[in-house]
Amino acid sequence: MPSLDARTAIDQQMQRAVEALEEATRTQTVNLLLARMAGGVAGLVGRPDLVDRIKKLLSGFTYGDLLSGAITNLGLPTERAERTVEIPSTEEAERDHPKVGDAFILVHARFHGGEGTRSSLAGDLDSATRLAKSPQDLEEVACSLAVMGELDLATKWALAQPVPLTTLSHVKFIILLERCRRNLPGFANEIRRAGYRDWEQLHIVLALAGRLPWLGYPFRDG
């Protein structure tokens, strides 16, 4: 059960996310995939009122619209393409974003990470550093430190590595998510200062709710 501070932050972030989607709908710039995910997340965190608003938002769009302009070889039958976009079912949302604890996250990171990540999770940062051969490897090691709760070390170590700003940005985001997931003091101020929107905003909500933000967490998808 999220703490009172986490519950407040969840409600604030979800409210803002839905308001932004509604505004994007008015200006015809709405991201339908984002809206669909927002509906699933709203259901998971107990906001049926926001689920209803997103259903209303999506009521004018079809699955054909959803895939319009997407890079895909998926061909939808006509009857499917003309169906109104639906938010994920409770079962689908639960499967994609299960409730997780520290032990699960560590096993999950070990499974999805590389050799350096596994060394880092085993407490051998020197070996992890030697095994990291690319910016992506270095990023994974830093993220593994974050999910171990070594947030300051993750920051200092990442800053000391020859990595691009995109890597540092991702590590910074994972550190914020871990602050949220662990309900550490000051997380609400960190969220406000960071000012994330769109997908990142939903990932923050999921972390606050103690749920897996995305399948390959804490590493990038794809």
Question: pTM score, two decimals?
Answer: 0.92
Instruction: Give the whole-number percent of the chain exceeding pLDDT 70.
Output: 93
Q: What is the DSSP string of 127-165?
A: HHHHH--SHHHHHHHHHHHHHTT-HHHHHHHHHTS---H
- Determine which of 69-73, 209-213, 217-221 has the lowest per-residue pLDDT on average: 69-73
- Report the mean per-residue pLDDT for the chain: 92
| pLDDT one-digit tens code per residue, 62-107 | 878 776 654 445 555 555 667 888 999 999 999 999 999 999 999 9
pLDDT at 222: 47
The domains of the chain are located at: 4-95, 102-208
